[in-house]
Amino acid sequence: MNDGLTLPSLAVIGAGKMGETLISALLASGVVESTAITATAWHATRRRDLEQRLGITTGDDNTRAAAGADLILLAVKPQVAPLVLREIGPHLRPDQLLVSIVAGLETPGIEHHLAAEVPVVRAMPNTPSRVGAGMTAVCGGRYAEERHLELARQVFSRIGRSLVLDEKHFNAVTGLSASGPAFIYIVIEAMAEGGVKMGLPRRVATELAAQTCLGAGRMVVETGDHPALLKDEVTTPAGCTIDGILKLEEGGLRVTLIKAIVEAGRRAGGLVDGD
């Protein structure tokens, strides 16, 4: 996909799993040239590996990488982020855009380290981004304009769906779409166990369960219908599905999932140490 988005240069500070996912997607969609990407990582082996596989430039100098790029993606772990921001913050300029995917790190906490009025966008992607089925929310800091938010949203649309949302909702986003895949893996595993209990080979049961979750998700997103309506379509009066639903309600699946998301979202506020 290339809807006209082009990035003259990109620096990825902390090119781990998520950083690499984005680099690969942007390269694949022709948004940026490999020669225009610089990535940093802690270990030399990791940097060599990225160079060999992606044909990009790597280094261990975060400040240098950041200073030479139009778009800077901060993708280090939350514990390392304050340290890296102290390093690069004084050197960033208002004509650049800093996009952070660091979980729990709010835009004022980022801006605190910047000497200039640099536009900052905070993004929260999730792991299905690795297969192009991610969900990313983006919000802007004090100096981010609509065009910065739109640019960031388009970047993340290369790894799935993306939307702009007020930062006050970011803990909820973290609990729902960032932690959510883990909850759904458990649902898939449990559904597969149900199939195994009924005599299905495990591999078949897992495929049926996973594709069923994928299909149900696509139905909600692509039809725009309320999930309750779609559920009613499957549920024949006096049929087998309603008996299954009764068991789900008895086991408290709904309330358990609600509590899981609220708890994960609450925890999201406290991920970054100190400043």
Ligand X SMILES: NC(=O)c1ccc[n+]([C@@H]2O[C@H](COP(=O)([O-])OP(=O)(O)OC[C@H]3O[C@@H](n4cnc5c(N)ncnc54)[C@H](OP(=O)(O)O)[C@@H]3O)[C@@H](O)[C@H]2O)c1
Binding to ligand X (CB under 6 A) within 74-103 occurs at 75-78, 80, 84, 101-103
Span from 14-22, 204-212, 229-237, 250-258 in contact with ligand X (CB under 6 A): 14-22
Tell which one of 8, 28, 42, 190 touches ligand X (CB under 6 A): 42
Which span (24-32, 36-44, 90-98, 185-193) binds ligand X, by CB under 6 A? 36-44
| 267 scored as a contact of ligand X (CB under 6 A) | no
Listed in sequence order, the DSSP H helices in 11-122 are 17-28, 44-54, 62-67, 81-88, 107-111
Closest approach, Cβ 81 to ligand X, in A, equals 6
Query: Does 185 sit near ligand X (CB under 6 A)?
Result: no
Q: Is 10 in the site for ligand X (CB under 6 A)?
A: no
Minimum distance, C-beta of residue 84 to ligand X, in the bound complex (Å):
5
Is the CB of residue 43 less than 8 Å from the CB of residue 16? no
Our finding on whether 135 is near ligand X (CB under 6 A) is no
Cβ(59)–Cβ(87) below 8 Å:
no
CB of 150 to ligand X, least distance (A): 20
User: Is 272 an interacting residue with respect to ligand X (CB under 6 A)?
Assistant: no
Select 87 or 193, whichever has its Cβ closest to ligand X: 87
Residue 108 C-beta: closest distance to ligand X, Å:
17
Stretch of 125-133, 185-193, 209-217, 239-247 lying at the interface with ligand X (CB under 6 A): 125-133
Interaction of residue 121 with ligand X, rule CB under 6 A: no
Least distance (Å) from ligand X to the CB of residue 113? 14
Cα–Cα dist 40/62, whole Å = 6
Q: Which residues, in sequence order, are CB contacts of 248 under 8 Å at separation 6+? A: 254
| Smallest distance from ligand X to CB 19, Å | 6
Q: CA dist 3 to 6, 29, 30, 46, 263, Å?
A: 9, 10, 10, 32, 38
Nearest-angstrom CA–CA distance, 129 and 26: 12
Choice between 78 and 195, CB closer to ligand X: 78
In the 8-state DSSP scheme, what is residue 104? T
The β-bridge partners of 97 are 71
Reported as type and span, the H/E element at residue 177 is none
User: How many of the chain's residues bind ligand X (CB under 6 A)?
Assistant: 27
| CA-based R_g, the chain, Å | 21
Q: Is 138 in the site for ligand X (CB under 6 A)?
A: no
**Residue 12: left (phi > 0), alpha (psi -120 to 50), or beta?**
beta
Should residue 124 be labelled a site residue for ligand X when binding is judged by CB under 6 A? yes
Distance (Å, rounded) from C-alpha 137 to C-alpha 62?
25
Token readout for 164 is 């702009």
Task: Give the CB-nearest residue to ligand X.
Answer: 16
Query: Residue 12 and residue 57: Cα distance in Å, rounded?
Result: 10
Give the footprint of ligand X on this chain (CB under 6 A): 13-19, 40-43, 46, 62, 75-78, 80, 84, 101-103, 124-127, 178
